[in-house]
Amino acid sequence: MNTMHLRYAVEIEKTGSISQAANNLFMSQPNLSKAIKELEAALHITIFQRSSKGVTPTPKGRQFLISAKRILRELDEMEALGREQDRRVSFKTSVLPASYIVYGFTRFLDRLDVHESLDIDFREATSADVLSAVEHGSSNSGIIRTRVEDWHYAERMLEEKSLRCDNIWEFSPLLLFSEHHPLAGKQELTVADLIPYLQIRNRDLLRESAIPGMEALTEHDQKLAMKIYDRHSQMHFLQRMEGTYMWTSPLPEALLKENGLVQRPCRDNPLRCVDMMIYGSEYEPGPLDRMFLTELTQIRRELASQRRR
């Protein structure tokens, strides 16, 4: 067994496919399969279960992969000790597309020392993709969103993937639409008010769920909803398409004014969401992680104060 065998196994777990992993590793599939069989024979365990749908780690295989990723991370750190470019401050995070997070990240960047050598990697993705990025080490931290009622599901998912979390914010989603929307003049809405209008959906929750309080809209659902996952595109459609709306986390007042948007509460919205920062089991949050979390906490307080006014 050598370190390349460890990298092979980690890449297979990441892709869920031996053929795709072989592609990524620039080697043939038979050679990769042979290397994994040799690794399993040396360890006297089965690392992966193979099926027509791909490969998944066995329970012992998952334990092995956690150790393998830790070893590879430590080896990479040792190899980086003598390289000037690797003495840069590194911060790699993946987050769900939420405007308050982007605001917090901008403030976080403003606080960094511009004279210091920095390596910043900031990605927006669905909660499921954020989870995968942190699990496989392409991001050191991430922010995901789940319904409060799905908390035990999220907790189980994190435990299975050996991830830890810190809760950032629990909130009730608000309705977001153009200031020219027919409902913009109402200060408080009900689900029934939404029936004639087109909902823009995104996939920000860890687990797909019904639209909050939308049982009354079942018959309209297919024709009155569209999925758009890019945050910029969502804003564009809200501004340009008459009668569109979204459920979102609270947004800063400056962003609403800048884009000609308004937010309103929905009286019979039963949904409560929680955003959480997640980390790998072997990753120790450093000063930059804590600084980013501090900015998000401050944004959350400002948004709460904004809603009370």
Q: What is the mean pLDDT of the chain?
A: 83
DSSP string, 201-237: E---BSS--PPTTGGGGGGGTTTTEEE---HHHHHHH
Between CA 40 and CA 254 the distance in angstroms is 57
**Least confident among 67-71, 90-94, 206-210, 239-243:** 206-210
Which residues make Cβ contacts (< 8 Å) with residue 110, sequence separation at least 6?
Answer: none
Identify the H or E element spanning 295: helix 287-308
Q: What is the pLDDT of residue 212?
A: 47
Using an 8 Å Cβ cutoff, are 97 and 124 in contact? yes
Encode pLDDT of 160-208 as tens digits. Answer: 888 998 888 999 999 999 999 999 999 889 988 988 898 888 777 777 6
For 150, phi then psi, to 5°, come to: -100, 15
Q: What is the pLDDT of residue 204?
A: 76
Identify the H or E element spanning 5: helix 3-15
Q: Greater confidence, 57 or 114?
A: 57
CATH architecture of 3-80: Orthogonal Bundle (1.10)
Between CA 210 and CA 271 the distance in angstroms is 10
Residues of the chain with pLDDT > 90, as a percent, come to 23
Q: Does domain 174-264 have CATH number 3.40.190?
A: yes
List 273's β-bridge partners, or say none. Answer: 147, 171
pLDDT-derived band of residue 77, with 50, 70 and 90 as boundaries?
confident
For 62, phi then psi, to 5°, come to: -65, -40
Query: The tokens of 175 are what?
Result: 């309705």
| Rounded alpha-carbon distances, angstroms, from residue 19 to 11, 65, 69, 235 | 11, 19, 21, 39
The CATH fold assigned to 88-171+273-308 is D-Maltodextrin-Binding Protein; domain 2 (3.40.190)
Burial class (CB in 10 A: 0-12, 13-18, 19+), 41: exposed
Using an 8 Å Cβ cutoff, are 79 and 108 in contact? no
> Treating both helix axes as pointing N-terminal to C-terminal, what angle do 287-308 and 99-111 enclose, rounded to 10 degrees?
130
Q: Greater confidence, 204 or 116?
A: 204
Encode pLDDT of 249-295 as tens digits. Answer: 999 888 899 889 999 999 888 788 999 999 987 788 888 888 999 99
Residues of the chain with pLDDT > 70, as a percent, come to 88
DSSP string, 126-181: -HHHHHHHHHTTSSSEEEEEEEGGGHHHHHHHHHHTTEEEEEEEEE--EEEEETTS
Residues 78-82 have a mean pLDDT of 66
Domains 88-171+273-308 and 174-264 share a fold: yes
Encode pLDDT of 117-172 as tens digits. Answer: 778 899 998 888 899 899 888 899 999 999 888 888 888 889 888 899 888 899 99
Q: Residue 304's closest CA among 227, 260, 251, 225?
A: 251
Residue 52: CB atoms within 10 Å: 4
pTM (whole model) above 0.75: no
Q: If you ran DSSP here, which 8-state letter would residue 265 be given?
A: -
Going from N- to C-terminal start, the domains of the chain cover 3-80, 88-171+273-308, 174-264
Which residues make Cβ contacts (< 8 Å) with residue 276, sequence separation at least 6?
Answer: 143, 144, 145, 146, 154, 165, 166, 167, 168
